[in-house]
Structure 1
Amino acid sequence: MLTIVKGPYLQWPTEDSMTIMWETSEQASSRADVLMAERIHSGYQGNYKKPEHVVSTVSNKGYCTIHQLTVKNLEPSTIYFYNIYSACEKGEIESGPHPLKTAVRKGEPFSFTVTSETGGYSGFDQSNGRINRNIFHQMQRYRPDLTLFVGDLVNDGQNYDDWEKYFFRPGKDFIINTPFYSCLGNHERNASWYYDFFAYDPPKNYYSFDYGDVHFICLDSTDFIKPEHYPNSAGEISSGNAQYDFLVQDLEATSAAWKIVFFHYPPYISGGYQVEELRKLSPVLEQYGVDVVFNSHTIVYERSHPIRGGQIDENDGIVYIVAGGAGAMPDWFLPKREWHTSQSLAVPHFVQVVVTSNLLELRAIDEEGRLFDALKIRKGTNGRKEFL
């Protein structure tokens, strides 16, 4: 029989479109319907009636196992519902209706969550995946508009089964209604499955996107720091490197109120696996006004003081956050903090971020839903920051 192996799950939200993906057990056709539902005081899901009015449909009669359809002509910042269908000689499947929300307009507040290490922690995890499931469950409670995963989704990216075991299965109920972005970690091993399962802009290992008042940039630190040279770069982090040049040109082109960059290896961490070579990116990030950098790799939580020019700068600094969330390795911390560390704790966690045009609020929350760190960044009309 034809079955759904992964998903459905959401990718690459824009103000007028959403990409929907799923995997089937056999080669099959693809179709996705987006439906509008009437809002009422109580009803089917989140005070909506069961949706019946189809507003957009996209299909692919060609057979495949990994299905990717982009539904267009939607309205910004709007909740819809979607159904997916596949069929072949071995049967038919459908799933839905599931909610989705298009990207918000500029000037509209939104929220997102950040975590990582759903697979990277697996070799140390004695909980049988409980931590992964808890982190996904806690993030769902906050109903984010999107989520960032900062690498190491799997234990071995070249092992097909790992993608289901460590990410798609424990995260199923979350990614079915929350679009997500990810960067490559060392555990992905630059495997082809990363490129097959995710619908990011080419070359996929680095890309950028806008959402509301934020410009996000994903980088591939495993390309800057190749495995055979780790933790050194062998000279790749400079002009002339395709990814480095992309970063410069992309930052030059954006006028977004907030700029957030995420990549796996941490340039600042009071613990093991710090990759100081990546501080070569900091002058570019500082020059173009990046506000926050999210990293992982060291399986702990750590937030830096605002840093600029290798020093603490409470007016124009960048906050570096290590969100190695789906696990905790307290023994990986140094005996004492480094100068750049503001707050740190080795507990399973995620980071929740709320963004408005002039305020960015970050909250670190553990797997039981407890708040253990918070920061607000207020930005004036002159671009100067105030850290609260």
Structure 2
Amino acid sequence: MKRFRITVILIAAVLLLIPAASHADDGYDGDQIILSWTDDSAHTQTITWHSKSREDGYVQYNREGAQLSPQHQVKAKIIEVRKDYYRYEASIKGLSQKTTYEYRVGDGDRWSKIRTFTTAPVAEHSRVTASDDAESFEFLYLGDVQYKKRSEDYKAWGKMIQDIRQRNPGIAFSLMGGDMVNSPRNMNDWNLFLSQATSVFAGIPMMTTIGNHETTVRADLYLKMLALPQNGPKGEEEEFYSFDYGNCHIAVVNTSFFLDNRKAAMEEEWDRELDSINGWLEEDLTRSSSRWKLVVMHHPAYGISDGDPIYDAIREEWEPVFERGGVDLVLCGHQHLYMRTKEIGDITYVMGNSGKRRSTYFNGENVPEYTESLNATDSNYQIIKVTEDKLTLESYDEEGQIIDKWTKSKAVSPIWKAAAAAGIIILVAAAAVAIRLRLRKRR
């Protein structure tokens, strides 16, 4: 008995010396983690994810290499998408520009693995002093993800975006052109899409627009699943929004607003809402002083086929606003092919298709005269590179082979240099006056 007691005491002593098992970075059931922005891209980061547990959710974050702890922690709001599906949304504020942070999501005891994100540079028009060397960066555009064979095609798309990230480790964020699912209320579609998207978009923000396959009358499930800026027209927040990254301003619009079922449901309110949208879009684009301006939407203004009244509506209602607002590039999807137009009103229109569906609009011969480049064979993606004086779009097939390249140049404005020179002249003149005054006093 004495030996047994001694053995028990020794075992207890050994157990006391062993550190308690840590729950950090292990055991949390959170998945489908997606980064986006709902505010300033240089100083905030929004993180959404899914968990089955419906416990309180948190994000812990800190600069890369620093410790994660409750000192830097944000509580998430829980969004009940359906009775058996919850999304969590947390926005981190007060971050430093151009800085890499580590983060993890969890319930306070159990945590996901640690991931990273990097904040944007301060928007050029927000700088206190003008820069002779504006930040250059690149980002990704992905057209329709929509599948033919659901599980198989989402898996192939997931591999493609991982390959894209590996080939292009410097991409800062991604724009999505809509039709990410086939059915707007099918949770199997959403689960597969977000599960594949996590591999890349838990590390870089994913900014989306609404396709006709995300909406019935309204894109209700889409708006619950994703977190986007709410700076759009009243009543249409997140369906319409804009954000800045460096010297680039990006406006995102919902072309499905022109669908007949939306008009029928809204009745006379639809016309008033359209006026509000048009006013917002005009003000948003003309107010921006960014060097480059882009628009993202789902339906094309200029496509391979012109049989849909929505295309006419876009050209009638929004194309003049794009032109007055100084838009350089419009990115779209919908017709399941790659297509780039010639410049139309100083704007280039590019259609992408990252999924496996192929166009039923193209018969092999019906190529409009405004077409500059066309590929109806391959899944594709676009890398957009932004510098002070150039906007470059390179389009690739899913194997990473280039299929098209487009560049727009703008001469660097010498205004700020002239202003700086004028400032120096003023300072020199002021110094000369001061010296003369002193000399006169001495006399």
Instruction: Give the equivalent residue in structure 2 for 1:111.
Output: 138
Mark the CA change 1:267 to 1:26 in structure 2 (over 3 Å): closer, same or farther.
same
4+ aligned runs moved over 6 Å, structure 1: 234-239
CA contact (8 A) 1:292 1:318 kept: yes
Give the Å deviation of 1:81: 1.0
Instruction: Give the equivalent residue in structure 1 for 2:372.
Output: 342
Match of 1:180 among 206, 219, 222: 206
| 1:40-189 correspondence runs (5 A) | 51-52=66-67, 57-60=72-75, 65-86=86-107, 93-105=110-122, 106=124, 107-118=134-145, 120=146, 122-123=147-148, 127-141=152-166, 142-143=168-169, 144-165=171-192, 167-189=193-215
Match of 1:327 among 356, 373, 397: 356
Q: What are the ranges of 5 or more consecutive residues in structure 1 without an aligned counterpart? A: 39-50, 309-316, 384-388
**Matched residues in 1 for 2:375 and 2:50: separation?**
37
Instruction: Give the equivalent residue in structure 1 for 2:226.
Output: 198
CA contact (8 A) 1:131 1:367 kept: no
Q: Deviations over 1:215-269 (max 9, x none)?
A: 1000010013334779xxx997899622112111111211110100011111111
Match of 1:263 among 289, 297, 301: 297
Instruction: Give the equivalent residue in structure 2 for 1:298.
Output: 335
Instruction: Give the equivalent residue in structure 1 for 2:436.
Output: none
Instruction: Give the equivalent residue in structure 1 for 2:44.
Output: 17
**Matched residues in 2 for 1:66 and 1:103: separation?**
25
The alignment partner of 2:114 has SS state of strand
Give the Å deviation of 1:328: 4.5
Instruction: Give the equivalent residue in structure 2 for 1:372.
Output: 403
Q: What are the ranges of 5 or more consecutive residues in structure 2 without an aligned counterpart? A: 1-26, 80-85, 125-133, 231-236, 415-443
> Do residues 252 (structure 1) and 286 (structure 2) align?
yes
Mark the CA change 1:326 to 1:371 in structure 2 (over 3 Å): closer, same or farther.
same
User: Whose radius of gyration is greater, 1 or 2?
Assistant: 2
Q: Deviations over 1:171-204 (max 9, x none)?
A: 1211110101111100001332211122212311
Instruction: State TM-score, norm by structure 1.
Output: 0.83
Question: Which AA in structure 2 matches 1:370?
Answer: Q
Question: Which AA in structure 2 matches 1:216?
Answer: I
Question: Which AA in structure 2 matches 1:8?
Answer: I
Instruction: Give the equivalent residue in structure 2 for 1:45.
Output: none
Give the Å deviation of 1:55: 10
Match of 1:286 among 312, 320, 323: 323
CA contact (8 A) 1:158 1:191 kept: no
**Matched residues in 1 for 2:344 and 2:323: separation?**
9
**Matched residues in 1 for 2:238 and 2:149: separation?**
29
The alignment partner of 1:164 has SS state of helix
Mark the CA change 1:255 to 1:69 in structure 2 (over 3 Å): closer, same or farther.
same
Give the Å deviation of 1:289: 0.8
CA contact (8 A) 2:28 2:112 kept: no
RMSD: 2.8
Mark the CA change 1:127 to 1:19 in structure 2 (over 3 Å): closer, same or farther.
closer
Instruction: State TM-score, norm by structure 2.
Output: 0.73
CA contact (8 A) 1:28 1:62 kept: no
**Matched residues in 2 for 1:261 and 1:55: separation?**
39
The alignment partner of 1:369 has SS state of coil
Mark the CA change 1:61 to 1:35 in structure 2 (over 3 Å): closer, same or farther.
closer
Match of 2:260 among 223, 226, 231: 226
* Identity over aligned pairs, percent: 22
Moved more, 213-222 or 188-197: 188-197
Give the Å deviation of 1:17: 1.4
Give the Å deviation of 1:30: 1.7
Q: Which has the higher strand share?
A: 1
Match of 2:248 among 214, 217, 221: 214
Q: Deviations over 1:262-303 (max 9, x none)?
A: 111111112376623311221111112100001111000000
**Matched residues in 2 for 1:208 and 1:83: separation?**
27
Mark the CA change 1:329 to 1:357 in structure 2 (over 3 Å): closer, same or farther.
same
Question: Which AA in structure 1 matches 2:367?
Answer: R
Question: Which AA in structure 2 matches 1:350?
Answer: Y
The alignment partner of 2:368 has SS state of coil
The alignment partner of 2:138 has SS state of strand
Instruction: Give the equivalent residue in structure 1 for 2:439.
Output: none
Give the Å deviation of 1:97: 1.2
**Matched residues in 1 for 2:297 and 2:338: separation?**
15
Question: Which AA in structure 2 matches 1:296?
Answer: G
**Matched residues in 2 for 1:170 and 1:130: separation?**
7
